[in-house]
Amino acid sequence: LGASTAFPVFYATIKIHKDPWTLRPIVSCSGSMLYALGVWVDTQLQIVATAQRSYFKSSAVLKDQLLRLELPPGAKLFKADAVSMYTNIPTRPAMHDIAAYLRSHAAEFPTINVPALIEALRLVMLNNVFTFGDTYWLQVSGTAMGTPPAPPYATLFYAIHEERSILPAFGDNLFFYRRFIDDVIGIWRPSTWRVDDAANWARLQDVMNSHRGMRWEFSDRCDSIDYMDMQLSIVNGSIVTGLFEKALNLYLYIPPHSAHPPGVLTGLVLGNAHRIYTLCSDPADVRRHLRDLYHRLRVRGHSPGTLLPLFERAAVLHRERLSGSSAARAPTNLRKTIFFHLQHHPGDPPSRDLQQIFSDRISAPPYGRPLAQVRNRDGFRIGIDRMIVAYSRPRNLGNLLSSRVLDERKGPLVSSYVD
Per-residue pLDDT reduced to its tens digit, 114-139:
999 999 999 999 999 999 888 999 99
Average pLDDT over residues 93-98: 96
89 closest CA partner among 185, 160, 9:
160
Residue 17 scores a pLDDT above 80: no
Q: What is the pLDDT of residue 225?
A: 97
pLDDT-derived band at 2, boundaries 50, 70, 90: very low
When the pLDDT of each residue in the chain is averaged and rounded to a whole number, the result is 92
Least trusted range by pLDDT, from 73-77, 103-107, 321-325: 321-325
Rounded CA-CA distance 296/284 in Å is 19
Specify the pLDDT at position 359.
93
Q: Which segment of 70-79, 120-129, 242-251, 290-299 scores lowest on mean pLDDT?
A: 242-251
Model confidence band, residue 3 (pLDDT cutoffs 50, 70, 90) = very low
pLDDT at 143: 95
Q: 200: which residues sit within 8 A by CB, 6+ positions away?
A: 170, 172, 173, 191
Arithmetic mean of pLDDT, 166-190: 97
CB 40 within 8 A of CB 120: yes
In this prediction, residue 13 carries a pLDDT of 82
3-state secondary structure of 294: helix
Question: Helices 263-279 & 59-67, crossing angle to 10 degrees?
Answer: 20
CA distances from 366 to 54, 383, 384 (A): 58, 18, 17
d(CA 164, CA 185): 19
Does residue 167 register a pLDDT over 90?
yes
Q: What is the separation, in whole angstroms, between the first and last Cα of the chain?
A: 26
Q: Tell me what the mean pLDDT of segment 320-339 comes to.
A: 81
pLDDT at 248 over 90: no
Q: What tens digit of pLDDT does each residue of 274-302 get?
A: 999 999 999 999 999 999 999 999 999 99
Question: Residue 301 to residues 21, 156, 214: CA-CA distances in angstroms?
Answer: 32, 46, 47
Q: How far is CA 365 from CA 358, 359, 369, in A?
A: 9, 7, 7
